[in-house]
Structure 1
Amino acid sequence: MSRLADSSKAASLCCVVSLTVLTMLGMIFAHATSVTPRDEHLATLRQAYARPATEWPAPWLDADVAFVELGKLNLPSSPSSHEQRRVALGARLFHDTLLSAGNDLACSTCHDERHGWSSGMPTAPGHALARGRRNPPSLHNVALRPYLAWDGRGSSLAAQSLAPLTISEEMANKDLDSVLARLHADTDYAARFAEVYGAGSISADKLADALVAFQTRLETETRFERFAAGDPNALTDQELWGLHLFRTKARCINCHFGPLLTDDRFHNLKISFFGEKAQDLGRYQVTHLADDVGRFRTPSLRHVGQTAPYMHNGLFPTLEGVINLYDRGGGEVWARNKSEAANPLYPFATHLSSHIRPLGLSDQEKAALASFLRTL
């Protein structure tokens, strides 16, 4: 009970779960989750989470977490007929190789619906088979995020949607004007743009607007959301146990909370490969602040079961691999020689996020946690 009570104080939450249920949960799950719970214990857990989310067992939170409870994301309302045309135009553009210099790549090449709007590969193929260093982020809920890309370099979805068009290792156009010229020359596109935006030339702003319209319509309801909305059968017993672990012992809730399942901050997990060929300093490459060395944006966990492989470089092919990383307390950064140790950025690369620590999860707990993650 002490850990649940301490977490409740740290989060400044008022937990109104009955004393009997909370006491049982404390005894059953806080210290004795190394084996699969018995049926009666799972029944107690289900009773606790059958309540409104405001009355769920208190999460285990660090003091500096601006916690928002898990819950349902409000999806956009049904589009008007004009909005439908705008979205349809954006969808066609998103899937059209005409936007690439070689007429061989589309936005959907790197952001494939079959892979949760990511690529399904650690890195995606670009122009002339070039490969970048980073895994294409999922586009689910991308319109709702304050920062874009793994290092947060993007704050405007419109600008971010156009950026790959002129990156040499991606779609490799020499400039946006060459893309717009090809669209102008296509009589069908000319008619579609005029239908949506009225008479006039096809501009970069119109192109970006159509792509953004499509990307704002990618989110869908999840099974966890149906559970949170009151459907008790939406989660199995194992998944429900995983939910409880997510909010308590596994500590996922410290960075992945609210309907978007992210704190939208940047954290160092010690997987920057500092000093190695695969080095990626993350947020530092945008801010040039030493404290940001090795920090990457917290991804949303919505639809995370569809978006393998994981991490900024696609390091882990499965959720189980990600769970093992967190269970051991993050990665490793070490200096291989005196020169690397003397690098003024080296101490910052070793600064593990304060939210990361060894967890001591059992194999059964890891399996339950992975099962729950696939409901998100």
Structure 2
Amino acid sequence: MLALILSWPDTGNAFDANAYRQPPEHWPAAHTHPEAGEVPELAPLPTLPPVAWHTPATEALGQQLFFDPRLSGSGQHACASCHDPDLGWADGRRFAFGHDRQSGTRNSMSLLNAAWFEQLFWDGRARGLLGQALQPITNPVEMNAELDEVLARLNRSPGYRRAFGEAFGPGPIDADRLAKALAAFERRILSRPNRLDRFIGGQYQLLNDQEIFGLHLYRTKAGCLNCHNGPLYSDGRFHHTGLSYYGRQYEDTGREQATGRAEDRGKFRTPSLRDFQYTAPWMHNGFFPSLRGVLNMYNAGMIGNTRLHPELPPLSPLIQPLHLSRTELDALEAFLATLNRRPVAIRPPEPLMSSTTP
């Protein structure tokens, strides 16, 4: 193929788009920060490894439970209330709301591809899906239920007794079985292959020259690959980007709340960029409804260390002014659009019959 050399206005550099129309191992070298450690290349999602407790029966049961408001104290709030399949498995709000319309303090993280993350929630307080599954149920701001009362309610339901028996075998409905059923369903909440995945697979016509230029910037000058890498477009780590609002309204100390360590103050987990288009508004506080606003903040180097509260640790060394031109920002934004594909629509199942009311 004849190489196409493009000269992009106001970049001062020529760019060969065809350098990316080949397998990733032959792409130009990425420019990464030493503090990022080993940085995996962007890649399609691999097959999810099996676990013994994830079967078709436990997954179907988990789907039933996920949409059932009987897991909440009021009987009016389900897991799907904050993780709506029509809203990218988030809720489209700045802050989640829960019991009695109480407002939370953080944006609902999407459940897409949550099975791949070792630490869940913005502060990483839960270890995997089994560690996460029951926490919203007992959280007083979220579903505000007593776990024992939820289990008793499920055990009084003939439909749930039958469904749990078919999924797990004889025995009462307990916390372990409830967590495994919910986690089994949440494991199947996965992204579909997007345009970048198919481009990497050899369908090189799916990205135009501007989008490929954006891919190049993502891996080089823009520094995105330092944190948003691998098949999840996330390193799963925790970084201080300066948005904790420490000492002000909306203060959130982030990772420190899970570890108790002052050095973790202001750190939040890197969100996945897969299908991010459907999960706005963005950041842990949902303060960014515009993707260009996010890019502009990173381009400026966020707020910079000189404006940080004296009790905050310094920003992550991965946060630096980028000096991207408008043309480069346009290309980066165009590339980011290739990471999205609308998730599969899932409708709530018919509720199981119960012999009791909440």
Q: How is 1:182-261 mapped onto 2 (pairs within 5 angstroms)? A: 182-219=153-190, 220-261=192-233
Unaligned runs of 5+ in 1: 1-19, 336-340
CA distance in 2, matches of 1:288, 1:124: 24
Q: How is 1:75-94 mapped onto 2 (pairs within 5 angstroms)? A: 75-76=47-48, 83-94=55-66
TM-score, normalised via structure 1 length: 0.83
347-356 or 132-141, larger mean C-alpha shift: 347-356
Matched, 1:357 2:333: no
Identity of aligned residues (%): 44
Any conservation in 2 of the 1:293–1:349 contact (CA below 8 Å)? yes
CA distance in 2, matches of 1:126, 1:265: 27
CA distance in 1, matches of 2:43, 2:305: 36
Give 1:34's aligned residue.
10
Q: How is 1:1-376 mapped onto 2 (pairs within 5 angstroms)? A: 28=7, 34=10, 44-45=16-17, 47-65=18-36, 66-76=38-48, 83-173=55-145, 175-219=146-190, 220-331=192-303, 346-349=309-312, 351-376=314-339
Question: RCO (CA 8 Å, sep 6+): is it higher in 1 or 2?
Answer: 2
Any conservation in 2 of the 1:271–1:332 contact (CA below 8 Å)? no
Unaligned runs of 5+ in 2: 340-358
Q: CA deviation at 1:68?
A: 0.8
Offset from partner CA, 1:255-280 (integer Å, 9 cap, x none) = 11111111222111111111102111
CA distance in 2, matches of 1:215, 1:36: 47
CA distance in 2, matches of 1:169, 1:136: 13
Any conservation in 1 of the 2:97–2:103 contact (CA below 8 Å)? yes
CA distance in 1, matches of 2:92, 2:261: 32
Offset from partner CA, 1:221-256 (integer Å, 9 cap, x none) = 222111111111222333222211111121101111
Structure 2 letter corresponding to 1:34:
D
Any conservation in 1 of the 2:295–2:329 contact (CA below 8 Å)? yes
237-246 or 300-309, larger mean C-alpha shift: 237-246
Offset from partner CA, 1:103-129 (integer Å, 9 cap, x none) = 111101111112211111111110001
Task: List 4+ stretches of structure 1 deviating above 4 A.
Answer: 77-80, 332-335
CA separation of 1:177/1:110 partners in 2, compared to 1, >3 Å: closer, same or farther? same
CA distance in 2, matches of 1:310, 1:151: 16
Count of aligned residue pairs for this structure pair: 335
More helix by share: 1
Any conservation in 2 of the 1:273–1:333 contact (CA below 8 Å)? no
Q: CA deviation at 1:316?
A: 0.3
Give secondary structure in 2 for the equivalent of 1:366.
Answer: helix
TM-score, normalised via structure 2 length: 0.87
CA distance in 2, matches of 1:33, 1:267: 34
CA distance in 2, matches of 1:193, 1:364: 56
CA distance in 1, matches of 2:237, 2:44: 21
Offset from partner CA, 1:300-344 (integer Å, 9 cap, x none) = 111111111111110101221111110110136778xxxxx9xxx
CA distance in 1, matches of 2:265, 2:178: 35
